[in-house]
Structure 1
Amino acid sequence: MLLETKTCDFDWPAPEFDLATPAGVRHSRDGVIGEKGMLVAFICNHCPYVVAVIDRLAEDMNALEAMGIGCVCIMSNDYRDYPADAPEKMTVFAQTHGLQAPYLVDENQSVGRAYGAVCTPDFFGFDADGGLQYRGRLDDVGMRGDAGARVPELVNAMRQIAETGQGPRDQTPSMGCSIKWS
């Protein structure tokens, strides 16, 4: 089911999380947030919307990390019903696409629910104090556009947040497949 993210609830505080990668390495909200902010991306392996943007997302996350913005990906889908999203496949997916940010398993889906994630991909951009400043899309390309001339809306917004503490007031919602709740 195709969904769009909700509008940005500016300054909403980032919920805490303590999740592990498929290899068991734990990451928390306070350990991920960087000096200039934090990006939390809800993704999965099988969603065609994620598959279409994952290489650009991995590249953009590397750029954000270089700016002092901590990045993390969280997989909240019920992988028992959607085995393509199983933890062992998450590792292969991340390696295949050069995803260097931690890719965490939300085993009981509590983090996805706490954040109000609705689809994959769903992006939450926070300022250095953990206040929400961005709830938009990755870029203006979508699934089938020409990425050569793209406007990197997420990177631009996070750069603005890093510099001013405030996100852009005009944000285009992300769209994708619904989170697969158990």
Structure 2
Amino acid sequence: MPALVPPVCEFDTPVVDFDLPGTDGRRHTLADVRGERGTLVMFICNHCPYVLAVLDRIIRDARDLQALGVGVVAISANDAVAYPQDGPGKMAEMAREHGFPFPYLYDESQEVARAYGAVCTPDFFGYNAEGGLQYRGRLDASRNAAGPSDLRRDLYEAMKQVAETGLGPRDQVASIGCSIKWTA
């Protein structure tokens, strides 16, 4: 399947609430994960080579953004029947093995992913403190293999700007990744 590229940022689109089970055995809502200075909602999954190539960078950037007051959450919406490695049990293993510093939630109905308009993994949605979309771009210039370690940290730099000013950069490069595995 060819890689998908999500649409560009539609500034100020309101953040979508959710109530989803996490790999920690608890349910999480937007209010639980929202940050004082912004919120990053990431759609990822366990098996996508685009996610796996940069997983250590996703974790690094999440920690660095949390230190700036940005709340971070990851959601997997893939069909776990067709892709069992993306089911809740395997998600919990991955979160534990990699020490995810953010909740990793499962959107079994896929309603949340559809409400956000997520199309691929990884797909990043960065909101300001008021809940308006300010970033929908890539993590960095990596593709399905990690690029050099000195690549510009597009996601981090954009969300740092959002945390400091409430506004995202006007120029954004879309993420790229595997399509979300829809059930129907």
Residue of structure 2 equivalent to 1:139: 140
Which structure 2 residues correspond to residues 32-181 of structure 1 after superposition, within 5 A? 32-181=33-182
**Equivalents in 1 of 2:35, 2:169: separation in Å?**
20
Deviation at 1:141, TM superposition (A): 2.9
Deviation at 1:50, TM superposition (A): 0.6
| TM-score, length basis structure 1 | 0.96
Query: Aligned AA for 1:83?
Result: P
Query: Aligned AA for 1:77?
Result: N
Aligned residues: 182
Query: Aligned AA for 1:100?
Result: P
Query: Aligned AA for 2:88?
Result: P
| TM-score, length basis structure 2 | 0.95
- Asked whether the equivalents of residues 44 and 51 of structure 2 are also in contact (C-alpha less than 8 Å), the reply is yes
Query: Aligned AA for 2:155?
Result: L
- Asked whether the equivalents of residues 77 and 180 of structure 2 are also in contact (C-alpha less than 8 Å), the reply is yes
**Equivalents in 2 of 1:152, 1:65: separation in Å?**
15
- Unmatched runs of 5 consecutive residues or more in structure 2: none
Deviation at 1:76, TM superposition (A): 0.3
**Equivalents in 2 of 1:111, 1:91: separation in Å?**
19
**Equivalents in 1 of 2:129, 2:107: separation in Å?**
24
SS in 2 for 1:92: helix
Deviation at 1:145, TM superposition (A): 4.5
SS in 2 for 1:175: coil
- Unmatched runs of 5 consecutive residues or more in structure 1: none
Matched-pair identity in %: 55
Pick which of 48-57 and 135-144 moved more: 135-144
Deviations 1:48-74 (A, max 9, x none): 101101111011101111110000000
Deviation at 1:81, TM superposition (A): 0.8
